[in-house]
């Protein structure tokens, strides 16, 4: 019986078919991969991770924001990515106990980047150390960690390694005793800690100083008092301290012109045995403030001393500003303001000059540049003597030596005392108003002024209140003088006017006028124990003046016209003296009321108007002791002037 069997395929046919399939697959691959858009682009990255001290770190995980894979550093700190997509990658290095480190790279096709390195630092909260105690020959260090660690402590003296101590037991806290140290020496130490996984953590070096053998005697007393004084063009700071064996030195602090105090010199220059320091880095006109502190043996700064202030005298060559907060500004010598410099003074400021031993040593404020001293009525600027018992001529005063082409010195609401000449000026170089000068040899001295006016100048107890000479078309209004030997001395002036003045208690002269011409005086009060006005000048015009004098009311001589009228000339003492004496022509001086003198007029008359010569009937003494020269309503002189008004200081209107 015959059976049908399936015919087996020819093996050669199968081999040929497989060959064709393989060829087709290869062709498909070639076609599919032939275009740029289908090409797979890759690159490689590697590097090393180290700690703060550049030591390799094992177990650091490196990741990329564009890869699912990560790499972990080996025992040499190396990591590697063999295949990363091209483009930008944000790589991160992470390890427990260390701050995260990040880095951005740009990877190109086929590029191998082998130096993408990281440096990571220990987190602060992971490991820390502190100096727990310091003695003369020993220190105790405390080390704490967030996980058990072993510790190596390396000790240095003045930067030189002297020992290394190992504490192999892994625990959270270690107490390290550093013994056999030298007293009063500088040491430092560095801590290295290792975890169970061999991770190493290192802290920055810390410093300490062992105590001095005398430290256990207790803290020394602070330096409480220092003295700073100008010596020529420098400032000498001196102090005295007896406990130099218990301190390591001194620190000197300095401030310039009110700025905050700053450390100026330290214990490297100011030793325990030092007793003074000379500051050469100073400029005239500036205010320097100094304070000092002693340092204990462990370099702890003790209490700061009191502050000493010095304003340096000398030649000011740059603009300077003196403040009220500097009070008092004490000057050991003269101050000269350079022609290109300006000194500005704040209201309420007090300037005191050291008294000189001889006349040649007397200090002066000499202004060749600009002085702007503008106080207020409530806060005047004061210039005076530093003497414990100030007297006339302790210093020379203020002299405005020359002017500025564009600006005048200004002195307003200022008080000056105890000088030879309070304020001296010439050639229209100053504007002075509301200035009070007291207890000086001469209050004001003005020379060579032209078409200039001064207002509200006052003097008190000066030998000469005001002296003016060689000036023309010159006016002073609102002048007051009290208890001067001579209130006003005028010589060689022309066309000078005084008005609205008030002179009280002069010892010799109210006005002494010589060699002048065209002198006009209006509306003023003159009190003098001897002579009200003595004039040897020509062309005078004295009207509406109230004079109270014992010897002479007015004496006059000289050429030219003399107008003397509408005045009250009064002697309240024993009936003596002469009201008006004229050593020139036999002039007539009408409209004057002369009362209380033994002789009303001498070598002159009162003809030209009715003669009264009666008691003026002043208001009289006030509760404060001053005398009011206004006329009572009942006075017969209220309508006696040539224009029908009252005569005397308050008439003529």
Q: What is the pLDDT of residues 17-39, one digit of tens each?
A: 565 565 555 544 444 444 444 44
User: Quick check: 586 pLDDT over 90?
Assistant: no
Stretch among 121-125, 173-177, 189-193, 358-362 having the lowest mean pLDDT: 121-125
Region 534-550 average pLDDT = 96
Of 387, 445, 446, residue with least CA distance to 418: 387
90 pairs with which residues across the strands?
104
User: Quick check: 519 pLDDT over 70?
Assistant: yes
So what CATH class is 128-209? mainly beta
Do 645 and 651 touch, CB atoms closer than 8 A? yes
- The pLDDT score that the predictor gives to residue 245 is 73
Place of tokens 């500036």: 286
More confident residue, 407 or 238: 238
Architecture of domain 41-119: Sandwich (2.60)
pTM over 0.85: no
User: Quick check: 491 pLDDT over 60?
Assistant: yes
- The pLDDT score that the predictor gives to residue 404 is 57
User: Quick check: 604 pLDDT over 60?
Assistant: yes
439, burial (CB in 10 Å: exposed 0-12, middle 13-18, buried 19+) = buried
Region 269-291 average pLDDT = 96
- The pLDDT score that the predictor gives to residue 33 is 44
SS (H, E, C) 53-91: CCCECCCCEEEECCCCCEEECCCCCEEEEEEEECEEEEE
Architecture of domain 219-310: Sandwich (2.60)
- The pLDDT score that the predictor gives to residue 482 is 98
- The pLDDT score that the predictor gives to residue 481 is 98
Band (pLDDT 50/70/90 cuts) for residue 189 is very high
185, burial (CB in 10 Å: exposed 0-12, middle 13-18, buried 19+) = middle
Domain ranges of the chain: 41-119, 128-209, 219-310, 313-440, 489-653
The listed range with the strongest mean pLDDT (122-136, 196-210, 334-348) is 334-348
pLDDT tens digits for range 247-258: 889 999 999 999
pLDDT tens digits for range 70-87: 999 998 999 999 999 999
Tokens of 90: 């944000």
Band (pLDDT 50/70/90 cuts) for residue 51 is confident
141 pairs with which residues across the strands?
131, 176
Q: Say how far residue 39 (Cα) sits from the centre of its chain.
A: 75
Angle at 136 between CA 133 and CA 140, to 5 degrees: 25
- The pLDDT score that the predictor gives to residue 24 is 57
Tokens of 438: 């007291």
| Topology match between the domains 41-119 and 128-209 | yes
pLDDT tens digits for range 391-450: 999 999 999 987 555 689 999 999 999 999 999 999 888 999 999 999 999 999 999 999
N-terminal to C-terminal alpha carbon distance within the chain: 175
**30: part of which helix (H) or strand (E)?**
helix 11-32
Beta strands per DSSP E along 257-387: 262-265, 276-279, 287-296, 308-311, 314-316, 320-322, 329-331, 335-337, 342-345, 350-353, 364-367, 370-374, 381-385
Do 479 and 460 touch, CB atoms closer than 8 A? no
Q: CA-to-CA distance for 575 and 34, rounded, in angstroms?
A: 142
Mean confidence (pLDDT) of the chain = 90
Q: CA-to-CA distance for 653 and 646, rounded, in angstroms?
A: 9
- The pLDDT score that the predictor gives to residue 9 is 46
* Cβ-proximal residues to 307 (8 Å cutoff; 6+ apart), any chain: 289, 290, 291
């Amino acid at each position: 019986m015959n059976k049908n069997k399936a015919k087996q395929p020819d093996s050669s046919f199968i081999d040929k078919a497989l060959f064709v399939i393989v060829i087709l697959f290869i062709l498909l691959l070639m076609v599919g991969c032939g275009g740029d858009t289908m090409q797979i682009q890759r690159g490689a990255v590697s590097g090393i991770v180290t700690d703060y001290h550049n030591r390799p770190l094992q177990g650091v995980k490196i990741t990329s924001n564009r890869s699912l894979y990560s790499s972990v550093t080996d025992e040499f700190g190396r990591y590697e990515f063999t295949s990363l997509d091209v483009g930008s990658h944000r790589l991160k290095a992470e390890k427990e106990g260390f701050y995260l480190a990040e880095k951005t790279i740009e990877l190109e096709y086929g590029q191998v980047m082998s130096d993408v390195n990281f440096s990571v630092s220990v987190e602060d909260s992971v490991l820390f150390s502190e100096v727990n105690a310091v003695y003369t020959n020993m220190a105790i260090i405390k080390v704490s960690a967030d996980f058990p660690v072993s510790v190596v402590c390396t000790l240095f003296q003045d930067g030189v390694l002297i020992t290394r101590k190992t504490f192999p037991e892994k625990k959270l806290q270690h107490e390290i005793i550093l013994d056999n140290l030298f007293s009063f020496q500088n040491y430092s130490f560095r801590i290295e800690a290792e975890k169970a996984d061999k991770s190493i953590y290192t802290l920055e070096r810390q410093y300490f100083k062992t105590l001095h053998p005398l430290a256990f005697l207790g803290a020394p007393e602070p330096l409480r008092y220092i003295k700073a004084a100008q010596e020529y063009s420098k400032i000498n700071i001196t102090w005295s301290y007896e406990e130099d064996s218990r301190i390591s030195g001194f620190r000197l602090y300095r401030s310039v012109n009110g700025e905050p105090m700053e450390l100026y010199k330290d214990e490297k220059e100011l030793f325990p045995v030092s007793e003074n320091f000379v500051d050469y880095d100073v400029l005239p006109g500036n205010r320097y403030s100094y304070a000092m502190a002693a340092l204990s043996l462990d370099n702890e700064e003790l209490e700061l001393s009191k502050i000493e202030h010095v304003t340096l005298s000398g030649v000011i060559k740059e603009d300077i500003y003196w403040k009220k907060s500097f009070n008092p500004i004490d000057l050991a010598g003269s101050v000269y303001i350079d022609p290109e410099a300006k000194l500005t003074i704040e209201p309420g400021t007090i300037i005191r000059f050291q008294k000189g031993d001889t006349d040649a040593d007397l200090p002066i404020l000499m202004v060749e540049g600009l002085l702007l001293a503008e106080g207020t009525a409530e806060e005047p600027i004061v210039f005076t003597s530093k003497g414990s018992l100030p007297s006339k001529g302790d210093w020379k005063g203020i002299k405005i030596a020359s002017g500025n082409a564009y600006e005048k010195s200004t002195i307003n609401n200022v008080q000056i005392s105890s000088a030879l000449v309070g304020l001296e000026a010439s050639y229209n170089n100053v504007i002075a108003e509301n200035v009070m000068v007291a207890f000086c040899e001469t209050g004001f001295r003005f020379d060579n002024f032209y078409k200039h006016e001064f207002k509200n100048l006052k003097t008190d107890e000066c030998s000469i209140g005001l002296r003016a000479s060689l000036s023309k078309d010159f006016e002073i209004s609102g002048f007051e003088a009290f208890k001067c030997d001579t209130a006003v001395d005028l010589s060689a002036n022309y066309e000078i006017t005084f008005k609205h003045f008030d002179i009280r208690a002069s010892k010799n002269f109210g006005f002494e006028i010589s060699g002048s011409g065209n002198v006009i005086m209006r509306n003023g009060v003159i009190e003098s124990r001897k002579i009200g006005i003595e004039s040897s000048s020509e062309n005078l015009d004295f009207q509406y003046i109230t004079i109270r004098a014992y010897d002479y009311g007015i004496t006059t001589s000289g050429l030219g016209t003399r107008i003397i009228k509408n005045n009250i000339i009064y002697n309240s003492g024993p009936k003596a003296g002469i009201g008006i004496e004229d050593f020139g022509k036999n002039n007539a001086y009408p409209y004057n009321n002369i009362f209380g003198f033994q002789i009303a007029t001498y070598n002159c008359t009162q003809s030209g108007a009715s003669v009264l010569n009666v008691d003026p009937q002043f208001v009289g003494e006030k509760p404060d002791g001053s005398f009011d020269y206004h006329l009572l309503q009942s006075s017969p002189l209220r309508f006696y002037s040539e224009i029908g008004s009252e005569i005397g200081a308050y008439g003529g209107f």
